[in-house]
Structures are given as structure tokens and as C-alpha cells.
């Protein structure tokens, strides 16, 4: 029985077999024997999560446009399928051709969330690929392991397991790694030589070429590695490649719709937001190009929803015109336009009027903090009046469902700041009833979601420790008790133990590699799923490694000390981040850089800021 038949045999006994069938409409099929490089792209979570990720769609398209390369998708099998594959001796395989991952030339892995790291080790193990980099150096029968994504800006907790990291925009740098691979393969040189060649690519970091000295990675003598690795940057987003067709899944996925990236980056400067720092500068796609892509994707997929994607969709310079034109073009096809990640200080009324013509979804707004003092600390740049205007506009246009996102445990937060979230939710509720009854839709539903703040690298709060576990729990209870008094308001909050583990990997260095492997060997996997997270096993792993998680996650760091990611450069300078940290401690705000340069450091990148 061949491998494909053996896989099919397992599908009768697992949950959601559609996760593993492959063969979806729009999947790229090539003859593997007619390409020079086979690239497996692993999303280290379930199929329905990975298939919702825009970055994977973009790189799948970019690689497969090449005649000499073939990119195939790989996802983490759910617990039941993983265990049955282990029992049956079936290796991790690709979706397109069901080829064992071990047989590929390159294995690319996206790092979207620190708590998916154990899934990476599970994937390597199931594929039959040695976990650690040094165990692969004398092997010519395993792929190079390459990681990218936002978490790659602190790569050290994965450095023992990964051959190279790609920092920043992957459209070009990923293709560069393929070009260098072809050059290396033709040379017949040892495996280590590819890593030295790849280290010369802008945005590529090869951890084996560095030693850690006083908490900072420095190049080994004779390695040829750069002292500082600068991120890769795509300046012209309109000219950048973008998928004009998509894979249409057989089953439901998290975001089952067209995702249209309208711009990349953010100018707002929220001090907690890693994405707002590492994805600078803002680069917009032209309205004409977006309409062209949208037409092709609607015709190619049959989807009935287009989501206008960005870090802050309300900041797109032509948003009302774009939304209005898209609704006009697709109205007869009943294709709706959705607006995630709306800024509450953006003028939404005209846009809401346009997108509501087909159907109304929920409106998501992110005040982040309940009090104005704390919003100033994090440089959110919005006021209570902004929020009231936004929700009043939405309720007047027939919206009745609003999600409000907040964080607990922000630097300088007090119990009073936490309770201010409930006060703000109540004012939103009152704004609904202030709209004339004939204009408002029935069924008010306000969802207050409060995550636990996790300090991230490359932000002004990278020196801040996470708030201690007991303080987070107390504030969650205070807020829950207040929100229970409000009819029509739901409260959702994150487990502080999971957030503590996330912070250890966000802020830790190479010492976290042993913790990670130990936790995985103790049975940790799918840690981002609450029913799979094993906090006791994680604590056991830390104890076995002689490390206290609080010492990694909850301690403040000196502004003039070394950080594990100091050898990497996202474009925003450490001087700027230090300045913003000090302003945060004084609750002073910084203007949006669209109003004038604030000296963040991005101008060091040629053509980055115009």
C-alpha cells in the first residue's frame, strides 16, 4: 500500500478528515520531477488556522510563480491524527502531493505565535528530521529549516532548532534563499557553506554563525556573518506580487473569505504593538491595483466576502472611495465588504454607510485601555469622545454588535485603570439606547475582550516585565464583577498562565531552547489551545532546566543592558524605543508620523519613508 492510501485509511477514524485530504480547488499542482527546488511551507497549527493566514497565501503564490520551484503546504496534524500517524509509521506529509516533508529541499515555517513552538518540534519529529541544527549538519537527506514571521525578531528561543531565520518582508528574501540554494547545490559544497552564503542575503540571520557574549549574539570569527542583521523590506506594495487566485477549502476555516491587504505598516506608534514597529513604514497599495485584485479573486473563488486587511484599515488614505467602489462593483454578486481592525478615531460614518449596503457583520474596535491616562501611556492616541462617536455612528447605521478589545497588565496600570474598562463599556451601552429606536437594530451585544499584556521585542515596552500572575487574576475578577452588572455585555479574558509562558518565549534568550525541548518531551503541544495547554508540564520543564519563568517574563530590564535580539534591526532604532519608553513613564504622547517625522530610525532604509 502506498503512502497516500495509508493516509486515506486513517481518515475514517479522525476528527475533521477534510484537514488532510488536499486536492482543493485552486491548489497548485506541478510535476515535482520538473523543478529544481521543492519547498514545504509549514504552518505550525491546524489546517483551518493555517489556511486563514494571509502570509502563507502570499508566499505560496510567489514561490509557485517560479517554474524552477514548487511550494507545497504542510500543517500540524491535530492530536488524534498525529498519534495515529506515529502508530502507523506515517511521516508528516505535504497537502499537494503527499510527499514526506523530509524529502523536500527546504522547510519554511511561519512564526506567528510563541505558543506554537512545541508544534514545530512535533512536526520535525513526525517528519523524521533531527530536532537540533547540529544534528543535521552532516546530513544531506533532510531539508534546511527556515523560519520567518513576527516572532523571528526574537529568534533565540528557537535558535538550536532552526538553520536560518528570515526577518521582515518575505516576498523577495524567500526567493533569494531559493536562488542561493540552487547555487550552493550546484557547487557541491558542504551543508554549512549554504548557511554562510545565505547569511549575506538582506534579512537573513543564521544563529549557528554567532556566539552569545554578555547576553548578545556576536558573529563568530571567520563566519562572515554581519554584526547587525537588517530586516528585508519591500518598498513598493503596489508593484509587489499578490495572489490573483486562492485555494478554496472544502471545509470551514477561521477566516473563510477573500483577504485583501490594502496597506502594510502603521504610523500610529502604539507602544505595546510589535507589529506597528516591525512592519514600518506604511506602504499602501493603490486603489486601482486593489480593485483589479478584488475582481480577479471574486471571479476565481466565488467568495461572497472581502476583508480589507491592514493593521489599521481606517487609516487607508482612500478608504471611503475604495469601500464605495467595491460595494458598487460587487453589489449584484452580493459580495460584502468587511473592515477589521478599525481605528476608533477614524471617521467611519461614510465607510459604514457604504459597506452596510450588502449586510452587516460585527464591528471591532480596540480602545486597549479603559482610562485616558493609560491610553496616553501606551500612546493609543484616541479619546473617549472618539469611541463614543464611532459607536454612535455604527449604531445609527444599524449595527448592534460591537467587540471592544482591551489589555490588562499594561505598564503602570492600577486597579482603577482596570475598572475603567467597565465604565467605558457601560457608556457604549448607553450610546446604543441614545439612538432613536426606529434607527437602531435590535439585539444589542457588546463583547469586552481583555487579553493579558505580553511585552514584545522591538517595542518601547521591551524593557518591561509582565505583571505578576496574582495581580492579573485580581484585576480580572474585579472587572468581571463589574461587567456582570451590565445587561447585553459579555466578558472574555485570557488565561494568565498561558500569557506567562508566552512572555518567557517573547523575552527569553537561548536558554529557552532547553526549556522548549524539555516541555515538548513532557507532552506539551498545541499550547495555544486551552484544552491542550499543560501548565503543570511547563512548570516542570522550567524546574528541570533550573529556570524560573517569572525571572524571564516578569523582571524589568535595564535600558542600557543587552537584550537577546540586539543584533537584529527592524528599522526602528533602539534610541527611539528608549525615548518612547521614557515618555510612556511620564504618560506623554507622540504624534502620528504622518503629521511629521518623529525620528524612529526608518529613514536609514533607502526609500522607506517618502
SS3 readout for 19-53: HCCCCCECCCCCCHHHCCEEEEEEECCCHHHHCCC
The answer to whether the beta carbons of residues 140 and 552 sit under 8 Å apart is no
- Tens digit of pLDDT for each residue in 172-220? 999 999 999 999 999 999 999 999 999 999 999 999 999 999 888 999 9
Contact 503, 466 (CB under 8 A): yes
- Pairing relation of β-strands 144-148 and 106-110? parallel
Domains of the chain: 3-230 (3.40.50.280), 257-351 (3.30.750.210), 360-493+574-586 (3.30.750.200)
pLDDT at 41: 98
pLDDT score of 177: 98
Q: b/e map of 328-352 (b: 16 or more CB within 10 Å)?
A: eebeeeebbbbbbbbbbbbebbebb
Longest dimension (CA), the chain: 76
Question: Which cell numbers hold the place of 240?
Answer: 509587489
DSSP per residue, 217-246: EEEPTTS---SSEEPB----TTTS---SS-
Residue 39 — pLDDT band, cuts 50, 70, 90?
very high
What is the Cβ-side half-sphere exposure of residue 31, based on CA atoms within 13 angstroms?
2
Half-sphere exposure of 251 (CA within 13 A, CB side): 16
At 237-279, the pLDDT tens digits run 999 999 999 999 998 899 889 999 999 999 999 999 999 999 9
**Which secondary structure element, helix H or strand E, spans residue 585, and what is its range?**
helix 574-585
Lookup result for grid cell 506597528: 276
Output the pLDDT for position 356: 53
**Rounded CA separation 506/114 (Å):** 7
Nearest-Å Rg of the Cα atoms of the chain is: 24
User: If pLDDT is split at 50, 70 and 90, which confidence band does 363 have?
Assistant: confident
pLDDT for the residue numbered 199:
97
Average pLDDT of span 437-463: 94
pLDDT at 610 over 60: no
* Separation CA 126–CA 91 (nearest Å): 6
Distance of alpha carbon 411 from alpha carbon 465, whole angstroms: 8
Residue 361 pLDDT = 55
398 pLDDT exceeds 90? no
Please tell me whether residue 568 adopts helix, strand or coil conformation.
strand
Give 265's Cβ-side CA count (13 Å radius): 23
C-beta separation of 511 from 460 below 8 A: no
Residues near 54 by beta carbon (within 8 Å), at least 6 away in sequence: 259, 261, 309
> Which residue, among 133, 140, 162, has the nearest Cα to 149 in the 3D structure?
162
Instruction: Quote the CA–CA distance of 88 and 79 in Å, as a whole number.
Output: 14
Closest alpha carbon to 88 in 14, 171, 19 = 14
Distance of CA 487 to the CA centre of its chain: 34
Question: Greater confidence, 338 or 151?
Answer: 151
Per the listing, cell 528561543 goes with 157
C-alpha–C-alpha distance, residues 255 and 260, integer Å:
12
DSSP β-ladder status, 216-219 and 210-213 = antiparallel
| Residue 358: pLDDT over 50 | no
Nearest to 450 by CA among 425, 416, 487, 486: 425
Which has more confidence, 44 or 443?
Answer: 44
Instruction: Give CA–CA dist 580/489, Å, rounded.
Output: 35
> Is residue 156 pLDDT above 50, yes or no?
yes
Say what the pLDDT of residue 594 is: 86
What are the tens digits of pLDDT across the range 62-117? 999 999 999 999 999 999 999 999 999 999 999 999 999 999 999 999 999 999 99
Q: How far apart are CA 140 and CA 592, in angstroms?
A: 51
Query: Which pLDDT does position 357 carry in this prediction?
Result: 47
Q: Which residue has the higher pLDDT, 343 or 229?
A: 229
pLDDT for 343 = 58
Dihedrals phi, psi of 558, to nearest 5 degrees: -70, 140
390-416 average pLDDT score = 92
Question: In b/e form, how buried is each residue of 241-272, taking b as 16+ CB within 10 angstroms?
Answer: ebbeebbbbeeebebebbbbbbbbbbbbbbbb
Residue 566, CA distances (Å) to 3, 207, 504, 561 in order: 45, 13, 17, 10
Amino acid at each position: 500500500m502506498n503512502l497516500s492510501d495509508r493516509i486515506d485509511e486513517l481518515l475514517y477514524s479522525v476528527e475533521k478528515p477534510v484537514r488532510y485530504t488536499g486536492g482543493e480547488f485552486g491548489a497548485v499542482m506541478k510535476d515535482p520531477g520538473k523543478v529544481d527546488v521543492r519547498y514545504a511551507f509549514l504552518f505550525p497549527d491546524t489546517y483551518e488556522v493555517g489556511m486563514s493566514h494571509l502570509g502563507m497565501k502570499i508566499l505560496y503564490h510567489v514561490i509557485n510563480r517560479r517554474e524552477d520551484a514548487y511550494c507545497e503546504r504542510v500543517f500540524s496534524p491535530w492530536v488524534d491524527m498525529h498519534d495515529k500517524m506515529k502508530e502507523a509509521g506515517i511521516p508528516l506529509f505535504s497537502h499537494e502531493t503527499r510527499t514526506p516533508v523530509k524529502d523536500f529541499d527546504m522547510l519554511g515555517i511561519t512564526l506567528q505565535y510563541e505558543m506554537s513552538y512545541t508544534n514545530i518540534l512535533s512536526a520535525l519529529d513526525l517528519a523524521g528530521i533531527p530536532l537540533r541544527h547540529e544534528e543535521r549538519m552532516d546530513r544531506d537527506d533532510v531539508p534546511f529549516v527556515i523560519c520567518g514571521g513576527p516572532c523571528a525578531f526574537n529568534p533565540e528561543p528557537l535558535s538550536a532548532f532552526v538553520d536560518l531565520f528570515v526577518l521582515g518582508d518575505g516576498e523577495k528574501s524567500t526567493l533569494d534563499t531559493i536562488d542561493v540554494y540552487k547555487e550552493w547545490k550546484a557547487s557541491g559544497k558542504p551543508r554549512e557553506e549554504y548557511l554562510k552564503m545565505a547569511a549575506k542575503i538582506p534579512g537573513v540571520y543564521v544563529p549557528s554563525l554567532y556566539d552569545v557574549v554578555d547576553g548578545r549574539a556576536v558573529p563568530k570569527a571567520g563566519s562572515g556573518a554581519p554584526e547587525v542583521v537588517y530586516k528585508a523590506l519591500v518598498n513598493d506594495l503596489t508593484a509587489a506580487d499578490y495572489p490573483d487566485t486562492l485555494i478554496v477549502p472544502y471545509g470551514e476555516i477561521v477566516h473563510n473569505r477573500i483577504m485583501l491587504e490594502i496597506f502594510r505598516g502603521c504610523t500610529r506608534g502604539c507602544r505595546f504593538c510589535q507589529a506597528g514597529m516591525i512592519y514600518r513604514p506604511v506602504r499602501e497599495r493603490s486603489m486601482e491595483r486593489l480593485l483589479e485584485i478584488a475582481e480577479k479573486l471574486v471571479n476565481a473563488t466565488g467568495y461572497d466576502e472581502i476583508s480589507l486587511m491592514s493593521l489599521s484599515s481606517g487609516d487607508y488614505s482612500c478608504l471611503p472611495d475604495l469601500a464605495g467602489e467595491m460595494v458598487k462593483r460587487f453589489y449584484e454578486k452580493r459580495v460584502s465588504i468587511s473592515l477589521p481592525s478599525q481605528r476608533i478615531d477614524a471617521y467611519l460614518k461614510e465607510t459604514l454607510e457604504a459597506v452596510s449596503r450588502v449586510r452587516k457583520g460585527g464591528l471591532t474596535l480596540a480602545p486597549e485601555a479603559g482610562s485616558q491616562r493609560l491610553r496616553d501611556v501606551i500612546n493609543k492616541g484616541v479619546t473617549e469622545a472618539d469611541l463614543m462617536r464611532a459607536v454612535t455612528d455604527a449604531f445609527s447605521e444599524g449595527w448592534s454588535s460591537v467587540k471592544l478589545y482591551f489589555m490588562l497588565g499594561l505598564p503602570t496600570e492600577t486597579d482603577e485603570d482596570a475598572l475603567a474598562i467597565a465604565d467605558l463599556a457601560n457608556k457604549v451601552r448607553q450610546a446604543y439606547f441614545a439612538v432613536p429606536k426606529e434607527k437602531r437594530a435590535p439585539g444589542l451585544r457588546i463583547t469586552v475582550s481583555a487579553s493579558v499584556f505580553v511585552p514584545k521585542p522591538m517595542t518601547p515596552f521591551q524593557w518591561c516585565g509582565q505583571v505578576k500572575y496574582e495581580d492579573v487574576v485580581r484585576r480580572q475578577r474585579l472587572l468581571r464583577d463589574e461587567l456582570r452588572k451590565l445587561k447585553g455585555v459579555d466578558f472574555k479574558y485570557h488565561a494568565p498562565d498561558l500569557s506567562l509562558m508566552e512572555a518567557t518565549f517573547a523575552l527569553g534568550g537561548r536558554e529557552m531552547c532547553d526549556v522548549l525541548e524539555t516541555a515538548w518531551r513532557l507532552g506539551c503541544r498545541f499550547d495555544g489551545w486551552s484544552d491542550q495547554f499543560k501548565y503543570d508540564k511547563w512548570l516542570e520543564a522550567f524546574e528541570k532546566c533550573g529556570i524560573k519563568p517569572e525571572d524571564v517574563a516578569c523582571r524589568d530590564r535595564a535600558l542600557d543592558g543587552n537584550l537577546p535580539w540586539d543584533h537584529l534591526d527592524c528599522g526602528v532604532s533602539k534610541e527611539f524605543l528608549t525615548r518612547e519608553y521614557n515618555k510612556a513613564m511620564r504618560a506623554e504622547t507622540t504624534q502620528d508620523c504622518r503629521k511629521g517625522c518623529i525620528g524612529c530610525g526608518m529613514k536609514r532604509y533607502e526609500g522607506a519613508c517618502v
